[in-house]
Chain A
Amino acid sequence: MITYIKILIDSPEFLAQLIINGLLVGAIFALIAYGLALIWGVMDIINFAQGEMVIFGGYITYTLFYQFGIHPILTIPIVAVLLFVFGLFIYKTVIYRLLGEKDIFITILATFGLAILMQQLMQAIFGPDVVTANPELGMQFLFDGALIISNIQLVSFIIAVFVAIVLFVVMKYSRLGQTIRATAQNPRAARILGINIDRVYANTFAINAALCGIGGSLVVMIWTIHPFIGLVYTFRSFFIVILAGLGNFMGIIFTGMGISAFENVTGFIIGAEFQAAVIFCLLVIILITRSIRARKKRQYIH
């Protein structure tokens, strides 16, 4: 472990490499986390199937690429539309029945069941193998080869930023965005003012699913996926949302990128096999410290 730290100190360009890689892919995590924050803030529902939706999007890209020969980057709009429809379907069949449920653990258990169902369905349909849909775009060598950035990471970063900007504009200026924000602030008042809350909820959940899908197609281009890796993305998105707060758009983006860079560096230092465990342990430590701080004021986090 100390030798690895020494390597990082001795060769700052390697450290820079790790951090830049992290920052680039962090934008994707931020996208997924924003979807989670959206439904958490608007509907007060947390989605344990977030990571599974990401993987589902990834599998659609993979299938379109290998079965129909569509270039992975061009599949992104298709995936977004398909996942939007999928989100609407899930809302109508499952989430709709949970709204207004007093016992929040019912909603948690239901989305947890959804996560299991999606994992197993994906395994039954796509098989348990690790897949990837790398479009082979080549590398970018900077500073005489001191920094190597694969083009696909760069492209996915640009796509993620583009989606974020579109999302920002939609949330800020469109009628849909206005109704979503109004519902988040006060659902009763929004309903009195003639907003169809049910449609707002459905659209919010579908937007979240579409964001996950876009994230998934970017993930499958950069790394590999298999049916059971969704939980890691669920954690990452929780982690980002908890650190950044619910309504904070820019906060989520910067936290996402920062966490991803941090994760890369710690993953290098203590070994990649512990990387997922590190995210989780950090999440628990942060929550426990917050909980202790709240307890001093005779409050609790909920």
Chain B
Amino acid sequence: MITKDKQNTLIWLGLVISTIVPFLFPNHITLLTYIWVMIILALTWDMLGGQTGYTSFGNILFLGVGMYVCAVVQRDMFSSGLGRFERVSEVVVNLNVSEYFISLAVGTLSGAIVAVVLAVILGSGILGMRGHYFAICTLGLGHAAAEIASGIDYIGAGSGMVTPLYPSELLIGKEAFYYYAFLLVAVATFFLFRKIYQSQFGLALNAIRDNENKAESMGIHTTQYKIAGWSISAFFLAIAGAGIGNVIGFIDPVEIAFSGPTFGVWMIVMAILGGKGTIWGPVLGAVILYSAKETFWTYLLGWDKVALGLLILIVVVYFPKGILGYFKDRKQLSNSILSQKGEE
């Protein structure tokens, strides 16, 4: 087992490398940015999916909500609203430097707050259910949100929205800015989640996973813990969503914001691949899956998504504990064999 000191050294080493990396590969900054995005997605999914054992298929909802709220704030904060005959999907707002960053900050924060409020409201209804019913309810969330968003004219309906242009007179480029922004958010998420899992709150979450009835009879208000966990996930997911919208520069309700087949599935696959219910598993899964996807999946020529489906099936059926869980099991097995030999 890696000791705590060694682990911390590794983390610091990793952070130093990730700070330098954009200078080494200036052409691949967007790619590297997405790795941090994926880490956030996987970590937030794991809060409920891994620690509590509640497989949520609807977390993509918060991503899209954060994206849309931030984009709307950015559009409307410093401009006098829409012209009468303008089409929302074609409006491009030009902001100066201070306006851009103020509206981005306010938008991200309000997106996160809206997502948390939504998580509390939806969660108090849905998280009271267990098992199949919970899964069914969450599966439709993202889908319904996409349909509803494609029907609202204020946010561009089916043709989507354009996020403001990044001010060109700045020293630091758009890619580099969002790389460091996501790096910061991902690291903050990681450390906060690690702190949470080590606290009493984390123990309560794990108690729910192991035996919810027992946890309840021990005096843990399980539904409230689940809602709190989901809200924390929603907060960081919405922040990630606000960033993704600005990185891509264009928001489409079905293809980007509430995109079940891409972000929605990836976050689940990454967490399970790495090992759900651990803090390092989602990080590992995100890095492995996304690098694999970017390096060789393009050679699969349109069969890459088939490969994703096959991967999720194989991982779930044959390695439900993921990479970390697999090695942990092997280690325990070899330890028990060693100790048996010692007794002889």
Contact = CB atoms under 8 A, between A and B. Distances in A.
Interface of A: 40, 46, 48, 94, 97-98, 103-106, 108-110, 112-114, 116-121, 123-124, 228, 231, 234-235, 238, 242, 271, 273-274, 276-277, 280-281, 283-284, 287-288, 291-292, 295, 300-302
Contacts of A301: 129-130, 133
B148 A277 contact: yes
B133 A116 contact: no
Contact of B309 (A48, A117, A276, A283): A117
A117 B320 contact: no
A117 B55 contact: no
A120 B316 CA distance: 18
Interface residues of B, number: 40
B144 A280 contact: yes
A295 B125 contact: no
Contact of B125 (A113, A234, A288): A288
Contacts of A295: 128
A40 B151 CA distance: 35
Interface string B126-159: 1011111101110110011001101100000000
Contact of B129 (A108, A276, A291): A291
Contacts of B125: 284, 288, 291-292
A271 B316 CA distance: 39
Interface of B: 53-55, 57, 125-126, 128-133, 135-137, 139-140, 143-144, 147-148, 150-151, 261, 265, 268, 272, 302-303, 305-306, 308-310, 312-313, 316-318, 320
A300 B309 contact: no
A247 to B, nearest CB: 16
A98 B147 CA distance: 33
Contacts of A112: 57, 139, 268, 312
Contacts of B147: 273-274, 276-277
A21 to B, nearest CB: 22
Contacts of B272: 109
User: What 5 A-B pairs come out closest when comparing CB atoms?
Assistant: A117-B309, A113-B312, A280-B140, A116-B309, A288-B125
